[in-house]
Amino acid sequence: MAASTKHPGKRIAERGLARDIVASDVAPSDVARSAAHDRPILEVQDLVVTASGVAAALVDGVSFSLARAQTLCIVGESGCGKSLTALALMGLLARPAVRVARGRAQFDGHALFEMSDRELSDLRGDRIAMVFQEPMTSLNPAFRVGDQIAETIVRHRGLGRAEARERALQLLRRVRIPAPEKRLDAYPHQLSGGMRQRVMVAMALANDPELLIADEPTTALDVTIQAQILELIADLQRDTGTALILVTHDLGVVAEVADRVAVMYAGRIVEQGPVERIFDDPQHPYTVGLLGSLPSIGRREGRLATIPGSVPPPSRWGPGCRFASRCPLAQQRCVTQRPELEQVGEGHAAACLRLPIDAHLDTRLSTQLGTHPDALRDIRPEADRGTRPHTRGT
């Protein structure tokens, strides 16, 4: 993945073309194999996370599924519940203050929320791995990085020390750390931030996980290093076939690596669908706002656009649409009536009481969301308008 300045929609279109060509070459036996491959490795249903002393659910009815080798990008502004969703799946919520109050998460047939702490910790670092935003929260400053990587291999794979060290060395090579033999014996503080994050990626991949959750893995790094680390994660994901949940603010990266995108706002998924649909035909006013910078996208402009206002704190989340205080399309009913996700296209759903929003893609919506009207025309090709099934009028 290069730090391209191409329009993401263009890159997506090219990817779609590549898929079409591949699909026409598929033999019947491959179809059966691919059907097994497409079975979800993770299915999350109606996940609700609550915290003591906070009336509103911090994660409120989140559902999605992820096929093997697929990449789901979760986007949304700060405080939308992305990390709590990831932590809930990993069994790493700060219990008992923060806990899963409802919902199911099936990982390859295992009900994650019904597993004991012991069972979950056996799964973590083995079949499910996570890369956090700040590597120093996960690396122990007192131990050499090679020993820390080897430790997870010994624990989960039962290899001897020498073999585990050899595998740790291979992993450092795989994450493209220069002079890996030397780095094996380095302490975390002797490495740069970018190198520490590469060590974290090596550690996460140590046991060939089937699911990798990367929660804004590059936010603490400078822009050039961010691109390199995300490129590395995407390359490794493609090579290994690991399913990936990537939480990121970088729309350029989303366009490049995502199969599906979930847009979160104030604890809820407000829109989700195939990446092409989200970029070419966004159906939630919030998504339209986030995509505001699209036409001039580059690595730097690729971050989420700024929408006037900010995500209200959970204490102000009411019963209706939580985006209502910032939405140029809000009506009185939006404040009291909860919009549920409804299908707006194949595999594409949005939660807005005023679907389809095409009718409102006018100057008012676009300028208020900080998006130039021409940009919206670019996002949503004229020929496509009005062809999508929808169930609710304005």
Ligand X SMILES: Nc1ncnc2c1ncn2[C@@H]1O[C@H](COP(=O)(O)OP(=O)(O)OP(=O)(O)O)[C@@H](O)[C@H]1O
Instruction: Catalog residues that contact ligand SF4 under the rule CB under 6 A.
Output: 285, 321, 323-324, 327, 329-330, 334, 339, 352-354
Q: According to the binding rule CB under 6 A, does residue 292 interact with ligand X?
A: no
Q: Provide the mask over 45-74, with x wherever binding to ligand X is found by CB under 6 A and - wherever it is not.
A: ------x--x---x----------------
Near Mg ion in 79-118, by CB under 5 A: 83
Cβ neighbours for 334, distance < 8 A, ≥ 6 positions apart: 320, 321, 324, 327, 353, 354
Radius of gyration of the chain (CA): 21
Q: How far is the CB of 302 from ligand X (least distance, A)?
A: 16
Cβ neighbours for 256, distance < 8 A, ≥ 6 positions apart: 1, 4, 8, 11, 234
Question: Do strands 260-265 and 243-247 pair parallel, antiparallel, or not at all (unpaired)?
Answer: unpaired
Q: How far is the CB of 323 from ligand SF4 (least distance, A)?
A: 5
- Which 8-state DSSP code applies to residue 341? P
Q: How far is the CB of 371 from ligand SF4 (least distance, A)?
A: 15
Cα–Cα distance, 98 to 52 (Å, whole number): 7
Strand partners, 271: 263, 350
Stretch that binds ligand X, among 15-23, 79-87, 183-191, 230-238 (CB under 6 A): 79-87
Q: How far is the CB of 119 from Mg ion (least distance, A)?
A: 26
How is residue 394 written in tokens?
């304005």
Q: How far is the CB of 382 from Mg ion (least distance, A)?
A: 37
Stretch that binds ligand X, among 75-83, 138-146, 347-355, 362-370 (CB under 6 A): 75-83
323 binds, among Mg ion, ligand X, ligand SF4, none (CB under 5 to 8 A by kind): ligand SF4
> b/e per residue, 71-110, with b = 16+ CB within 10 A?
bbbbbbbebbbbbbbbbbbbbbbeeeebebeebebbbbee
Residues that bind ligand X in the complex, under the rule CB under 6 A: 51, 54, 58, 76, 78-84, 94, 97-98, 314
